[in-house]
Amino acid sequence: MLNIILRTIIGLIALSFLSSSISRFLRRAHTATWFKLMASAIIWISVLVLSIFPSVTHEINRIFGFGENLNTLIFLGFVIVFIIVFKLLSIIERTERTVTDLVRKDALRNMIKVSHEKSKR
C-alpha cells in the first residue's frame, strides 16, 4: 500500500514538472528552448514510466547487470543532479543577461561624442 502511495506521489511530481516545462515552452518564456523541453521531457517521462511500471528496473538491471540497490540510487542521484544543474544553468543565464543589460544601459547613458578637434590635442 505504501509502495503504491509513494509511486503515485512520484508520478504526480513528474507530471507536474513535465507540464510546467511544456507550459513555459508554449508561453515562449524567455529561457524556454527546444533543447530544454526535450531534455526535461526525457527525464520526467522516464520517472513517470518507472513510477507506473517499476518492474522495468528489473529488466534494466538484468540487461546491464547492476545490483538493484545501486541501480536505484544511481537513478535517483542522477535525477537530483539533473534538476540542480538545470536550475543553476537557468540562474546563470538570467544573471548574465541582467549584467549585460546593466552594462549596456550604463554605456549608453555615458556615451560621448569626441570631436575631430579634440584628437589634435
Partner 1 sequence: MKKTNKYSITQMGAVNRKKVFVVIPAYLEQPSIRQVIDELHREGYENIIVVDDGSPDNTYAEAHNAGGIYLLQHMVNRGKGAAMRTGFEAAKKLGAEIAVAFDGDGQHDARDIQNLIKKIAEGYDVVLGTRMKDSRGMPFVKQVANIIGNMVTWMLFGILVSDSQSGLRVFSRKALDLIDTKGDRYTYETEVLKEIARNKLSVCEVPIRVIYTKHSQSKAVRQGFVTGLKTLVRLIISI
25-47 burial, b at 16+ Cβ within 10 Å, e below that, comes to: beeeeeebeeebbeebeebbeeb
Closest contact distance (angstroms) between CB of 15 and partner 1 is 25
Q: How far is Cα 121 from Cα 112, in angstroms, rounded to an integer?
A: 17
Indicate the residue among 23 and 100 with the shorter CB distance to partner 1: 100
Q: How far is Cα 88 from Cα 105, in angstroms, rounded to an integer?
A: 26
Question: Which residues bind to partner 1, rule: CB under 8 A?
Answer: 33-36, 96-97, 99-100, 103-104, 106-108, 110-120
Closest contact distance (angstroms) between CB of 42 and partner 1 is 15
Closest contact distance (angstroms) between CB of 10 and partner 1 is 28
